[in-house]
Amino acid sequence: MKKILVTTALACMICSAVFAQQRRPDAPLPKWEGLALTPQMGWNSWNKFATNINEELIKATADKMVELGLVDAGYVYLNLDDGWHGERDEQGFIHEDKEKFPSGIKALADYLHARGLKLGIYSDAGTNTCACYAGSNGHEYQDAFTYASWEVDYLKYDWCYTQNLNPIGAYTTMRSALRRAGRPILFSICEWGSNKPWEWAKDIGHSWRTTGDIGVAFLPIPVTYDENGRPRWRAQSVLEILDQNEPLRKYAGPDHWNDPDMLEVGNGMSVSEDRAHFTLWCMMAAPLILGNDLTNMSRETLEIITNKDVIAIDQDPLGIQGLRTLKAGYLQYWFKPLSDGAWAFCVLNAGSEDATIGLDWPEMEFKDEISGRSPQFKNINYEVKDLWNPSKKPFKTFEGQAIVEVPSHDVVTFRLTPVR
């Protein structure tokens, strides 16, 4: 009898375990892999147009991206930022603003896909978006399935109105919702670096913001104060963001990138500042998300954003963020390890005066802890190609010191290829 009782109890325990396994809630689902093996490239509406977006603007932008060769250059995502939202229906499903997008988001996606583009959309982990439209808090799975039904390819997910929310939990919930919806959607975390997402977001998103919002400024924007003596919000400059993002390079890599915010190229800085801004984002393996008016753009701006040699630095398959090896006064020296033993090398002049410098290659020797490589200038001869002045004849590092001019608020940028 005792043996029968023991056997019965064991059977009950097994049955209980089986039923518990069947009834347990779904475990968090993994992110879609392989969507950002190199940093994503595209265009976003916010920097230039804020919430003033509509169907005509987006279609005109899409047409320009094709016409100007931007799609061929790699800019394949066209992303709607804040301001596309209409209201939620009685079941809680979100709809587009019918006045702004009368044909609907699905029709817009079809228009973009037919032209070789991908559609991005925007939402927020909180109750509201930053511009006070409907956020996704409590509607994550509904919104993810809606985006999938519209054939959206990219989600930028912001962090406004998130009081008392845990960021890891909030972003994990949306990641699982996107996976459950069944359509591969690149997940761009826009949490501003407030909770150090580089430490926990690798398996959640494909990129994460490391800084506050960028502004149209190369140098730091002065702080102003309200009537109570409290500092007012201000955008961050290119140089400020550079200093914040550079130390985080060990966290970046294929399918998980540090995001120092979108590009302000073409929005009001000087041509030299735009060139430096674009180059340094490429050196940092940052997502390249344009933010200017593509329908009204200067020749100089187009030349900057379509420089295939500089874009290749950003898109190098090795996927290692560059490092600043020296900061001497207003001059900064940057290296980025590339595939096939090559290096990208950049000198930034953040000062107000032009600079003449001598590049003594052996004196610039260093060891990169992330790649485990060093240039070995005493042992390896490199061909040095000027990427912003391709008409200049390449030279060799074994030829000795090179003298270069670095204009104020500008860069010189080279690709160093080993001579076999």
63 is annotated as an active-site residue: no
Residues 223 and 329 in one domain: no
Q: Is residue 272 part of a domain?
A: yes
Last residue of a domain, one of 288, 314, 340: 314
Q: What residue numbers bound the domain in which 402 lies?
A: 323-418
Residues 217 and 80 in one domain: yes
Q: Is residue 75 part of a domain?
A: yes
pLDDT confidence tier of residue 25, bands split at 50, 70 and 90:
low
349 and 330 in contact (C-beta within 8 Å)? yes
| Structural domain count of the chain | 2
Residues 65 and 138 in one domain: yes
Residues 349 and 299 in one domain: no
360 is annotated as an active-site residue: no
Low-confidence winner among 8-17, 47-56, 80-89, 172-181 (lowest mean pLDDT): 8-17
Residues 328 and 309 in one domain: no
Report pLDDT digits (tens) over 82-139.
999 999 999 999 999 999 999 999 999 999 999 999 999 999 999 999 999 999 999 9
Q: What is the mean pLDDT of residues 173-191?
A: 98
Residues 178 and 221 in one domain: yes
Residues 94 and 195 in one domain: yes
Last residue of a domain, one of 286, 314, 342: 314
Q: What's this model's pTM, rounded to 2 decimal places? A: 0.93
Q: Which of 63, 213, 293, 309 is catalytic?
A: 213
How high does pLDDT run on average in the chain? 94
Residues 210 and 100 in one domain: yes
Residues 101 and 236 in one domain: yes
* Alpha-carbon distances, residue 92 vs 164, 193, 396 (angstroms): 22, 30, 64
Quote the pLDDT of residue 65: 98
Give the span between the Cα atoms of 315 and 41, in whole angstroms: 9
Residues 53 and 81 in one domain: yes
Quote the pLDDT of residue 147: 98
Last residue of a domain, one of 294, 314, 334: 314
Q: Which of 81, 143, 153, 158 is catalytic?
A: 158
Residues 385 and 258 in one domain: no
196 and 208 in contact (C-beta within 8 Å)? no
Compute how many other C-beta atoms are within 10 angstroms of the C-beta atom of residue 274: 26
Quote the pLDDT of residue 24: 52
Residues 303 and 387 in one domain: no
